[in-house]
């Protein structure tokens, strides 16, 4: 294990070189209950270039609650390293006071109580206020979106991403990259890219399968503050594996490390003095890429939804993690002289929706986008007694509820729910509206299948997904979090090789071990196979919540984790 | 700087060795036999050959692989975990400007893909890479 001490030394070195991030500051102010918009936005403009980064918004136009993960295990070189430090350890690593707004924004401890104190986070109208404030200091600040923008809400689903395209255009985004965008289907993506977007859709690692040629623009050169800046886009590398390939059959992705090295060189040869990678690789893949490919000054990471209050320096590359669901916007002030990055000043700006005033223009635009659907979204379906959240390696209460719904509504023995990282949280006592259900389920392949699987097949699936999460080499980690399982428990030893991690698979209702040769009725959703049949998962969930009235989700103790 | 796959393999050697074990339990000698069948038992050196293959196959039925070995007279590709491991041998004449071969191969399961180059002087060079074949789904 690489010790936390090493990380702290790296972090200290960064601070010593570039000055403090200003992070501890707002943590302290918030603890004194004196948080103001000026505190959140306060930043002494330095250098000659400013970058603004937002990523993984998942179509959340309005403020939401979002609980950060409790369990987020790192393996291989990432073991014990950020972003795989959670909870109290996270607070300690960054010197964050318990109960502070920073605690609430960045870590799960005391989430329910702190959510009541500090309120919802995000809202692109608040983000607009932050962007405007930064542009007032530095008019040519560059705004970049890391993708996972057009999917995740009722309105994004109903408008095929148009609501998000309109709002991101209005915010003045200047380049983006992608992942879930492609689940709108290739025709819709290309229609947006060609006719709707005011800015380039970058993807240096997207190729057509037939000719192995680039399908999208790999990078865009910007001149800001007299500096030539190359922004390279890297889409989610495992798009055709993790999501339905039939929706974009002629595209190939991949990490393509050698290709990235070539694009960096091409950008440098074209005169780039600063190379920024706008990435949807996920943090651990980006960390490895930074170790192996020279010449990238900044990686704006995405996909894994991590929020880090300080940059992580790997060789000469600064990794920035800006969270998800609109909770944060990262500001970076850079001093670039003679083609060299001389200093980095960074602030992860938390979007406390009750502290930052909404920008009236963007608020009106958002309300307009939502208006045709407002009545449908606002309908109250039930109520929750429990905290509902998704993020975490093994289970979350939203998925426990979804699995319960699949088992009861589809009369199944066992339920499977994918380990997505997106989905807003709900507090105990809150009503569950239709919008809340869609915030946890909205996507373009929602059919809830019902099928028979043998114990052997179930084991194979669990082993396959586990290796996609816990393979010690991040380039071999394909997916999201572990598939969530209802009606069945298991033991997982994360350090074992594929085929040997999962044991003690047990049918919960009988307590019997799963029999490899016996068939079980399995219900699930989000199959990547074309032609999957069944009702949409949101209808299954709505029916279940309606019949329950008030839902309670018991603590899930069915997964025994070894080796973390 | 161009980072070659060889360098990556060197950097990731510990990890990959572990990954190899996971995909090929106890079959190391089988792979050695497969290599010996190509080389006639001659010693094989690493380096001087670049194998490009995806880390995870997007479609196990058609996985693109490319091999570059300047100075090679022949390049053989082995899919060590397939029922018939020998995929193809490319032979180069004196007039071939580059010694590069690319093709698409079918992989039955997660396995090591090995490229072996026979050089003009009769020596052999080898590069290998794990290609994972997965069920998919569950993408973040």
Mutant choice from A212, A241, A501 vs B, greatest count of B C-beta within 10 A: A241
User: At which of A341, A368, A395 does a domain end?
Assistant: A368
CB of A46 within 8 Å of a chain B CB? The answer is no
Could you list the beta-strand ranges (E) of A216-357. Answer: 219-224, 227-234, 251-252, 274-279, 298-301, 312-314, 317-321, 328-337, 340-350
Q: Are residues A349 and A469 in the same domain?
A: no
Residue A193 DSSP symbol = I
B95 to chain A, closest Cα gap in Å:
25
3-state SS string over A266-313?
Answer: HHHHCCCCEEEEEECCCHHHHHHHHHHCCCCCEEEECCCCCECCCCEE
Q: Across the A/B interface, how many CB contacts are shorter than 8 Å?
A: 126
- CA A418, A420, A426, A427 dihedral sign is positive
Q: Are residues A349 and A384 in the same domain?
A: no
Q: Are residues A458 and A349 in the same domain?
A: no
Mean pLDDT of A233-245: 96
A 69-108 → B contacts, CB under 8 A: 76-77
On whether the CB atoms of residues A276 and A297 are closer than 8 A, the answer is yes
Q: Are residues A190 and A74 in the same domain?
A: yes
Cα A420–Cα A424–Cα A426 angle in degrees, nearest 5: 125
pLDDT surpasses 80 at A32: no
CB of A255 within 8 Å of a chain B CB? The answer is yes
Considering only CB atoms, B137 lies closest to which of A242, A265, A473, namely A242
User: At which of A335, A368, A401 does a domain end?
Assistant: A368
pLDDT surpasses 90 at A300: yes
Q: Which residues of A touch B19 (CB under 8 A)?
A: 471-473, 476, 497
Considering only CB atoms, A461 lies closest to which of B8, B16, B135, namely B135
Domain that holds residue B70: 5-131
Does the bond joining A83 to the residue before it have cis omega, within 30 degrees of 0?
yes
A529 vs A369: CA distance, rounded Å: 32
Q: Are residues A164 and A91 in the same domain?
A: yes
Q: Are residues A315 and A390 in the same domain?
A: no
Strand partners for B122: none
CB of A254 within 8 Å of a chain B CB? The answer is yes
Question: Residues with Cβ < 8 Å from A211, sequence gap 6 or more?
Answer: none
pLDDT surpasses 90 at A246: yes
CB of B110 within 8 Å of a chain A CB? The answer is yes
Strand (E) or helix (H) holding A406:
helix A397-409
Number of domains in chain B: 1
- Bigger pLDDT: A533 vs B2: A533
pLDDT band at A26 (very low <50, low <70, confident <90, very high): low
B115 vs A428: CA distance, rounded Å: 58
Q: Which residues of A touch B131 (CB under 8 A)?
A: none
Q: Which residues of B touch A245 (CB under 8 A)?
A: 58-59
Q: Are residues A347 and A435 in the same domain?
A: no
Q: Which residues of B touch A420 (CB under 8 A)?
A: 138-140
Res A29: pLDDT: 54
Count of alpha carbons within 13 angstroms of residue A100, beta-carbon side: 23
Res B59: pLDDT: 93
pLDDT tens column, A459-497: 999 999 999 999 999 999 987 899 999 999 999 999 999
Lowest mean pLDDT among A36-50, A352-366, A482-496: A36-50
CB of A242 within 8 Å of a chain B CB? The answer is yes
CB of A303 within 8 Å of a chain B CB? The answer is yes
Q: Is residue A373 part of a domain?
A: no
On whether the CB atoms of residues A562 and A493 are closer than 8 A, the answer is yes
B136 to chain A, closest Cα gap in Å:
5
Structure tokens at B57: 């196959």
Mean pLDDT of A350-377: 97
Q: Are residues A239 and A140 in the same domain?
A: yes
Q: Which residues of A touch B8 (CB under 8 A)?
A: 257, 292
What values do phi and psi take at A344, rounded to 5?
Answer: -130, 125
Mutant choice from A295, A475, A528 vs B, greatest count of B C-beta within 10 A: A475
Considering only CB atoms, A241 lies closest to which of B23, B56, B130, namely B56
Neighbours of A269 (CB within 10 A): 8
- Pairing between strand B111-119 and B124-131? antiparallel
A256 vs A246: CA distance, rounded Å: 22
- Pairing between strand A414-419 and A481-486? antiparallel
Report which of B80, B72, B74 is spatially closest to residue B23, judged by C-alpha positions.
Answer: B80
Neighbours of A190 (CB within 10 A): 14
Q: Do B55 and A476 touch (CB under 8 A)?
A: yes
- CA A297, A300, A306, A307 dihedral sign is positive
Q: How many residues does chain A have?
A: 564
Res A35: pLDDT: 82
Q: Which residues of A touch B60 (CB under 8 A)?
A: none
pLDDT tens column, A53-108: 999 999 999 999 999 999 999 999 999 999 999 999 999 999 999 999 999 999 99
Q: Helices A537-548 and A397-409 meet at what angle, rounded to 10?
A: 90
Mean pLDDT, chain A, integer? 93
Q: Do A261 and B64 touch (CB under 8 A)?
A: no
Q: Do A291 and B11 touch (CB under 8 A)?
A: yes
Q: Which residues of A touch B59 (CB under 8 A)?
A: 240, 245
Considering only CB atoms, B1 lies closest to which of A261, A464, A468, namely A261
A226 vs A245: CA distance, rounded Å: 42
Give the residue on B whose Cα is nearest the Cα of A471. Answer: B19
What values do phi and psi take at A114, rounded to 5?
Answer: -70, -30
pLDDT tens column, A422-466: 999 999 999 999 999 999 999 999 999 999 999 999 999 999 999
Phi-psi region of B137 (alpha: psi -120 to 50; beta: other; left: phi over 0): left
Q: Are residues A20 and A124 in the same domain?
A: yes
Q: Do B21 and A528 touch (CB under 8 A)?
A: no
A543 vs A548: CA distance, rounded Å: 9
Res B21: pLDDT: 37
Q: Do A257 and B12 touch (CB under 8 A)?
A: no
pLDDT band at A34 (very low <50, low <70, confident <90, very high): low
Question: Residues with Cβ < 8 Å from A276, sequence gap 6 or more?
Answer: A51, A144, A229, A230, A231, A232, A296, A297, A298, A299, A300
B76 vs B59: CA distance, rounded Å: 22
Is residue A265 helix, strand or coil?
Answer: helix
Residue found under tokens 């209050």: A309
Q: Where does residue A28 rank: exposed (0-12), middle (13-18), buried (19+ CB within 10 A)? A: middle
Question: Residues with Cβ < 8 Å from A546, sequence gap 6 or more?
Answer: A381, A382
On whether the CB atoms of residues A9 and A81 are closer than 8 A, the answer is no
On whether the CB atoms of residues A48 and A225 are closer than 8 A, the answer is yes
Q: Is residue A374 part of a domain?
A: no
Neighbours of A539 (CB within 10 A): 16
A 415-434 → B contacts, CB under 8 A: 418-422
Domain CATH number, residue A126: 3.60.21.10
Q: Do B55 and A254 touch (CB under 8 A)?
A: yes
Q: Is residue A322 part of a domain?
A: yes
Structure tokens at A452: 């028979």
Res A262: pLDDT: 98
CB of B129 within 8 Å of a chain A CB? The answer is no
Neighbours of A501 (CB within 10 A): 23
Could you list the beta-strand ranges (E) of chain B. Answer: 44-46, 50-52, 63-68, 72-79, 86-91, 100-105, 111-119, 124-131
Within A419-481, residue ranges assigned H as helices are: 434-441, 455-470
Structure tokens at A278: 């706008």
Range with the largest mean pLDDT of A211-215, A325-329, A555-559 = A325-329
Number of domains in chain A: 2
B2 vs A475: CA distance, rounded Å: 18
pLDDT band at B139 (very low <50, low <70, confident <90, very high): low
A278 vs A302: CA distance, rounded Å: 8
User: At which of A368, A394, A414 does a domain end?
Assistant: A368
Q: Are residues A192 and A249 in the same domain?
A: yes
CB of A372 within 8 Å of a chain B CB? The answer is no
Q: Is residue B140 part of a domain?
A: no
On whether the CB atoms of residues B80 and B111 are closer than 8 A, the answer is yes
Is residue A88 helix, strand or coil?
Answer: helix
Q: Are residues A133 and A232 in the same domain?
A: yes
Domain that holds residue A238: 4-368
Considering only CB atoms, B134 lies closest to which of A236, A241, A295, namely A241
A462 vs A478: CA distance, rounded Å: 14
Domain CATH number, residue B122: 2.60.40.2470
Q: Is residue B139 part of a domain?
A: no
On whether the CB atoms of residues A46 and A345 are closer than 8 A, the answer is yes
A278 vs A280: CA distance, rounded Å: 7
Q: Do B22 and A473 touch (CB under 8 A)?
A: no
Q: Is residue B72 part of a domain?
A: yes
Q: Where does residue B116 rank: exposed (0-12), middle (13-18), buried (19+ CB within 10 A)? A: buried
CA A195, distance to chain mean position in Å, is 27
A524 vs A541: CA distance, rounded Å: 12
Mean pLDDT of A181-185: 98
On whether the CB atoms of residues A459 and A505 are closer than 8 A, the answer is yes
Residue found under tokens 């690489």: A2
Residue found under tokens 């990547």: A528
Residue found under tokens 């006071």: A97
Q: Is residue A58 part of a domain?
A: yes
Q: Do B8 and A304 touch (CB under 8 A)?
A: no
Q: Do A498 and B22 touch (CB under 8 A)?
A: yes
Q: Are residues A464 and A555 in the same domain?
A: yes
On whether the CB atoms of residues A66 and A118 are closer than 8 A, the answer is no
Q: Do B137 and A527 touch (CB under 8 A)?
A: yes
Q: Is residue B122 part of a domain?
A: yes
Structure tokens at A120: 């919802």
pLDDT surpasses 70 at B100: yes
Q: Is residue B26 part of a domain?
A: yes
């Amino acid at each position: 294990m690489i010790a936390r001490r090493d990380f702290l030394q790296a972090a200290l070195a960064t601070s010593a070189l570039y000055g403090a991030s200003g992070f501890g500051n707002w943590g302290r102010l918030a603890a004194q209950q004196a948080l103001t918009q000026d505190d959140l936005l306060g930043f002494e403009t330095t250098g000659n270039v400013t970058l603004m980064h937002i990523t993984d918004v998942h179509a959340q136009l309005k403020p939401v609650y979002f609980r950060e993960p409790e369990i987020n295990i790192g393996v291989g070189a990432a073991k014990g390293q950020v972003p795989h430090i959670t909870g109290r350890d996270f607070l300690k690593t960054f010197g964050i006071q318990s109960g502070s707004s920073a605690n609430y924004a960045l870590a799960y401890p005391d989430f329910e109580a702190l959510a009541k104190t500090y309120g919802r986070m995000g809202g692109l109208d608040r983000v607009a206020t932050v962007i405007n404030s930064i542009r007032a200091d530095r008019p040519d600040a560059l705004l970049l979106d890391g993708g996972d923008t057009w999917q995740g809400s009722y309105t994004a689903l109903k408008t095929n991403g148009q609501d998000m395209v309109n709002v991101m255009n209005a915010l003045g985004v200047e380049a983006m990259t992608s992942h879930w965008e492609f689940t709108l289907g290739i025709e819709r993506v290309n229609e947006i890219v060609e006719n709707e977007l005011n800015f380039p859709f970058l993807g240096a690692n997207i190729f057509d399968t037939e000719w192995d040629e680039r399908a999208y623009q790999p990078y865009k050169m910007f001149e800001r503050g007299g500096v030539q800046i190359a922004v390279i886009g890297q889409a989610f590398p495992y798009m055709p594996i993790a999501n339905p390939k039939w929706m974009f059959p002629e595209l190939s992705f991949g990490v393509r490390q050698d290709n990235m090295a070539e694009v960096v060189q091409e950008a440098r040869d074209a005169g780039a003095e600063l190379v920024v990678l706008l990435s949807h690789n996920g943090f651990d893949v980006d960390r490895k890429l930074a170790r192996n490919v020279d010449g990238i000054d900044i990686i704006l990471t995405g996909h894994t939804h991590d929020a880090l209050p300080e940059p992580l320096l790997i060789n000469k590359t600064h990794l920035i993690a800006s969270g998800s669901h609109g909770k944060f916007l990262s500001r970076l002030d850079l001093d670039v002289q003679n083609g060299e990055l001389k200093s980095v000043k960074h602030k992860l700006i938390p979007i406390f929706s009750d502290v930052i005033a909404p920008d009236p223009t963007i608020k009106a635009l958002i309300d307009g986008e939502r208006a045709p659907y407002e009545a449908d979204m606002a309908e109250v379906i039930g109520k929750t007694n429990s905290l509902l959240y998704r993020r975490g390696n093994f289970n979350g209460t939203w998925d426990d509820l979804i699995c319960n719904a699949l088992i009861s509504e589809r009369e199944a023995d066992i339920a499977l729910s994918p380990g997505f990282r997106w989905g807003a949280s709900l507090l105990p006592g809150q009503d569950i509206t239709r919008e809340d259900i869609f915030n946890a389920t909205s996507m373009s392949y929602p059919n809830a299948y019902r099928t028979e699987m043998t114990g052997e097949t179930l084991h194979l699936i669990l082993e396959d997904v586990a290796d996609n999460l816990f393979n010690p080499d991040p380039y071999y980690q394909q997916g999201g979090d572990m598939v969530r399982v209802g009606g069945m428990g298991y033991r997982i030893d994360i350090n074992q090789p594929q085929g040997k991690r999962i044991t003690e698979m047990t049918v919960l209702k009988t307590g019997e071990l799963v029999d490899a040769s016996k068939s079980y009725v399995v219900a699930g959703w989000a199959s990547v196979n074309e032609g999957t049949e069944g009702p949409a998962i949101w209808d299954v969930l709505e029916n279940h919540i309606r019949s329950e009235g008030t839902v309670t989700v018991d603590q899930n103790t069915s997964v025994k984790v070894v080796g973390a | 700087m161009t980072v070659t796959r060889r360098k990556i393999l060197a950097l990731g050697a510990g990890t990959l060795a572990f990954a190899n074990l996971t995909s090929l339990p106890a079959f190391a000698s089988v792979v050695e036999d497969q290599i010996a069948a190509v080389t006639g038992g001659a010693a094989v050196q690493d380096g001087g050959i670049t194998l490009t293959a995806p880390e995870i196959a997007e479609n196990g039925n058609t996985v693109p692989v490319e091999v570059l070995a300047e100075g090679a007279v022949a390049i053989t590709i082995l899919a060590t975990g397939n029922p018939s491991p020998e995929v193809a041998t490319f032979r180069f004449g004196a007039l071939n400007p580059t010694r590069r071969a690319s093709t698409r191969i079918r992989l039955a399961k997660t396995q090591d893909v090995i490229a072996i180059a026979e050089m003009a002087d009769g020596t052999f060079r080898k590069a290998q890479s794990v290609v994972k074949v997965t069920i998919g789904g569950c993408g973040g």
